[in-house]
Amino acid sequence: MTALLDAHLVVNRDAFHLDVVLRIAPGETVALLGPNGAGKTTALRALAGLAPLAGGHLRLDGEDLRRVPPEKRPIGVVFQDYLLFPHLSARDNVAFGPRRHGMDRRSAHAVADRWLERVGLADHGRRKPRNLSGGQAQRVALARALAVDPVLLLLDEPLAALDARTRLETRGELRRHLAAHPGATLLVTHDPLDALVLADRLVIVEQGRVVQEGDAVTITARPRTDYVARLVGLNLYRGHGAGHVVSLPGGFTLTSTDTVHGDAFVAFSPAAVALHAHRPDGSPRNTWPVVLDDVQHHGDNLRVRLDGPISVAADITPAAAAQLDLSPGRELWVAVKATETRAYQA
């Protein structure tokens, strides 16, 4: 599949330097995922023409967009807090784009009505944005961005402003609309769940650089940076592999059932970490002494952070916790089965 969007974005803003390559195929949704300040929104603004490019290239559907002003780019944007025009009704907000593209008032309103109906707000057209709920405003913003038939749809943290319940509903609905969008879609988010549910492919940026990209399965299975590992909830270590053993800096070793040579990562889930009050004995596995640092709720379980020769996170059930007396400073033993670890080339 040839890329609809082919961009190499270089932006310099004060001390911040962004340099990312993005390619998106027609109908594909790519999530740009990264921590705050990674440059996600800057990349989105550069694509929309709101931030100047210092270098690189930007082609959309074969057209060079570098010198095209924002109002002439076939791009629709859903902004983080939607930026619905407060003085216009929902219907006029959606009709705004078609009107600016030369459509007469009546046709623009017809387009707007059609889009409002598609997002399930047919009877909310007369409302001003201040009379819409967060979820409704989000849908109007989406309708407004799609009403200009953009080749590239950009969404900046489209669900961040919603409460947890609305978010769940809206996420599902958004997924449906993105799937129906024939052009390319770029979703900027810091929420891995949004990225996993909505996107076909993930591009992860840190400090202005792409650190990893690929489909959700690859990335969740084989994170390549601490950020990604935390994001997908894995313990991740980098070291030197020699067969089943990976040596970490400082001499600590982890054993895996995978085979790896040279520069390597070792990853395992916090759920794979077992805690013991005393040194466990028995089958061959990774065990080492640790000191309890911190305990937090994590869903129905508890996530325990432990210091030792390597820092590690463990998920345990409240029942297990009750037997262990989890107070900070408590000395414990950790055990991780070799079958639960994954070792792969760095």
Partner 1 sequence: MTKRVPVPLLVPAVLGLIFLILPLVGLLARTPWATLPARLAEPRVVEALRLSLLTSSLATVLCLLLGVPLAWLLARVEFPGRRLVRALITVPLVLPPVVGGIALLLALGRRGLVGQWLDTTFGITLPFTTAGVVIAESFVALPFLVIAVEGALRGADSRYEEAAATLGSTRWTTFTHVTLPLVAPGIAAGAVLCWARALGEFGATITFAGNYPGVTQTMPLAVYQTMESGDLEGAVVLSLILLVVSVAILAGLRDRWLTAP
The correct pick among 39, 76, 192, 270 for binding partner 1 (CB under 8 A) is: 76
* Other CB atoms within 10 A of residue 258 CB: 17
The correct pick among 14, 15, 71, 284 for binding partner 1 (CB under 8 A) is: 71
Site residues for partner 1, window 280-299 (CB under 8 A)? Answer: none
Contact partners, residue 143, CB within 8 Å, separation at least 6: 94, 112, 115, 116, 118, 119, 121
Site residues for partner 1, window 93-112 (CB under 8 A)? Answer: 96-97, 100-101
The correct pick among 3, 21, 54, 83 for binding partner 1 (CB under 8 A) is: 83
The correct pick among 16, 37, 50, 339 for binding partner 1 (CB under 8 A) is: 50
Listed ranges 17-25, 66-74, 222-230, 275-283: which one lies at the site for partner 1 (CB under 8 A): 66-74
The correct pick among 85, 114, 120, 311 for binding partner 1 (CB under 8 A) is: 85
Q: For partner 1, give the closer residue by CB, 88 or 295.
A: 88
**What are residue 22's DSSP bridge partners?**
7
Smallest gap from Cβ 134 to partner 1, in A, equals 17
**144 is a contact residue toward partner 1 (CB under 8 A):** yes
Residue 3, SS3 per DSSP: coil
**90 is a contact residue toward partner 1 (CB under 8 A):** no
In angstroms, the first-to-last Cα distance of the chain is: 28
Tokens of 215: 């489909």
DSSP letter at 132 equals S
**Distances 148 to 108, 152, 319 between C-alpha atoms, Å:** 10, 11, 55
**69 is a contact residue toward partner 1 (CB under 8 A):** yes
Tokens of 193: 């769940």
Q: For partner 1, give the closer residue by CB, 108 or 178.
A: 108
Helix axis angle, 134-146 to 164-180, nearest 10° = 20
Smallest gap from Cβ 78 to partner 1, in A, equals 10
* Burial of 72 per CB tally in 10 Å (0-12, 13-18, 19+): exposed
Smallest gap from Cβ 246 to partner 1, in A, equals 48
Q: For partner 1, give the closer residue by CB, 148 or 234.
A: 148
**165 is a contact residue toward partner 1 (CB under 8 A):** no
Smallest gap from Cβ 48 to partner 1, in A, equals 5
Contact partners, residue 118, CB within 8 Å, separation at least 6: 143, 177
x/- mask, partner 1, residues 182-221, rule CB under 8 A, reads ----------------------------------------
The correct pick among 37, 72, 328, 339 for binding partner 1 (CB under 8 A) is: 72
Q: For partner 1, give the closer residue by CB, 48 or 254.
A: 48
* CA–CA gap between residue 103 and residue 92 (Å, rounded): 13
Smallest gap from Cβ 155 to partner 1, in A, equals 12
Smallest gap from Cβ 45 to partner 1, in A, equals 8
3-class SS string, 242-281 = EEEEEECCCCCEEEEEEEEEEEEEEEECHHHEEEECCCCC
Helix axis angle, 134-146 to 105-118, nearest 10° = 130
Q: In whole angstroms, what separates CA 309 from the centre of its chain? A: 31
Query: Contact positions toward partner 1, by CB under 8 A?
Result: 48-50, 69-73, 75-77, 79, 83, 85-88, 96-97, 100-101, 144-145, 148
